[in-house]
Amino acid sequence: MFPYERLRRRPDVEAPNLFGSDAADRLVADLAGDDVLRDGLVVIGDAYGALTLAAAARGARGIRVHQDPLTAERALDANAADLGLDGTYEHRPLDASLVAGARTVLLRLPRSLEALAEIAALTAEHAHQEVVVFAGGMLKHMTTAMNGVLGEVFGDVQASLARQKARVLTARTPEPAAATALDRWPDRAFDDATGLHVCAYGAAFAGATVDIGTRFLLTVLGDAVPEAGTAIDLGCGTGVLASALAASRPGLRVIATDQSAAAVASARATAVANGVADRVEVVRDDGLASHPDASADLIVLNPPFHIGSAVHTGIAHRMFADAGRVLAPGGELWTVWNSHLGYRAVLERAVGPTRQIARNPKFTITASVSQRPRGT
């Protein structure tokens, strides 16, 4: 029996109500059985390594793995080391190299139908004709629309019986329509209100739209540290804020950072679409881990308040702490946040004096001034 209980989430947030595996991981592994031992095993969306390492413990080797969050990759690596299973898999981007010739795919169903559609089309187009996809999730996050998305590019889609509030969809027989379906990404749209082009791969938050929090922050962005020489769009998503800053301030050096591989690819495409790719550097990073202390004059942030399906503010607190470290003395963090979360006191502690810039019925925008002593 694989020791699922030993899996940890680190470096992601750990808390008593957050776990390293769940019933859907176990059901996918059980239904896949010895199919994981066939040549060409691929694992997609493995949160903290449960699917990959259970297959490795069964004897699978050369597993190709794609995880959108960087923290998930690092959690898998740490758990593999703990269990003596390092070297059994390799990380791959979400492209043809991930699924080429694959015969078995273990997939944690993403909550976004667009993300599922992109994964399904890529798999159907490039995997072996005899590929079997075991796609599992918890019932509370599954909809019948997922069957339809898989059915667009697979001829046979079957749903398992539920077990411990989890279910698996099994897809076979790739359809020729998959190649045409792949042309949808990145999705592209022009936002009339902001004058920005927005590009998004399937797993990018809000898709090719400007989410309402970002839209509100854009209304005051011109007032954010006008003299700044370096700005960071932290948790950049599709890179709307980064492109807006670069487009409106030709002399500004802009860095866009996100731990999501889909977000990073989307932000790069958005920068290209807006003609600012030469002035927006896009980095995949765990927060601001790779950025030096006191190196930015302005950081803009629209933090998430969910970790997976759980409402949890821990990730936002980590981002505030990162911003406090990376801001130069007197630099400012401009944050838009859901007003009910009451972040102001946390921002005061993590960064420095915080003033309200704007407020509407749902969101608050604040500016926090770094009180970091010069020379530290």
Q: In this predicted model, what pLDDT tens digit does every residue of 51-70 receive, in sequence order?
A: 999 999 999 999 999 999 99
Q: Determine the pLDDT at residue 44.
A: 98
Give me the numbers of helices (H) and strands (E) for the chain, helices first please: 12, 18
Is beta strand 187-191 parallel, antiparallel or unpaired with respect to 196-200? antiparallel
Those residues with Cβ within 8 angstroms of residue 95's Cβ, 6 or more apart along the chain or in another chain: 122
Q: Determine the pLDDT at residue 129.
A: 95
Q: In this predicted model, what pLDDT tens digit does every residue of 140-192 receive, in sequence order?
A: 999 999 999 999 999 999 999 999 999 999 999 999 777 677 888 999 999 99
Q: In this predicted model, what pLDDT tens digit does every residue of 33-43 receive, in sequence order?
A: 999 999 999 99
Give the integer Cα–Cα distance in Å for 369 and 354.
6
Residue 19 carries which side chain, given as an amino acid letter?
F
Task: Give CA separation, 292 vs 213, 245, 289, 348, in Å.
Answer: 28, 21, 8, 21
Q: Determine the pLDDT at residue 52.
A: 98
Closest CA to 190 of 298, 270, 128, 254: 270
State if pTM tops 0.85.
Answer: yes
Give the integer Cα–Cα distance in Å for 101 and 127.
4
Q: In this predicted model, what pLDDT tens digit does every residue of 20-31 receive, in sequence order?
A: 999 999 999 999
- In degrees, to the nearest 5, what angle opens at C-alpha 282 toward C-alphas 326 and 288? 25
- Do 154 and 134 touch, CB atoms closer than 8 A? no
Q: Determine the pLDDT at residue 312.
A: 47
Task: Give yes or no for residue 115 having a pLDDT over 90.
Answer: yes
Q: Determine the pLDDT at residue 313.
A: 60
Closest CA to 199 of 290, 265, 129: 265
pLDDT-derived band at 373 (thresholds 50, 70, 90) equals: low
Closest CA to 254 of 232, 238, 236: 232
Range with the poorest average pLDDT among 66-75, 122-131, 280-289, 367-376: 367-376
Closest CA to 7 of 79, 100, 102, 60: 79
The reply to whether omega before 303 is within 30° of 0 (cis) is no
Q: Determine the pLDDT at residue 225.
A: 98
Task: Give yes or no for residue 97 having a pLDDT over 90.
Answer: yes
- In degrees, to the nearest 5, what angle opens at C-alpha 172 toward C-alphas 183 and 138? 90
What's the whole-number average pLDDT of the chain?
A: 94
Give the integer Cα–Cα distance in Å for 244 and 229.
15
The reply to whether omega before 186 is within 30° of 0 (cis) is yes
Q: Determine the pLDDT at residue 233.
A: 98
Q: In this predicted model, what pLDDT tens digit does every residue of 285-341 receive, in sequence order?
A: 999 999 999 999 999 999 986 454 444 467 899 999 999 999 999 999 999 999 999
Helix axes 23-32, 50-58, angle to 10 degrees: 30
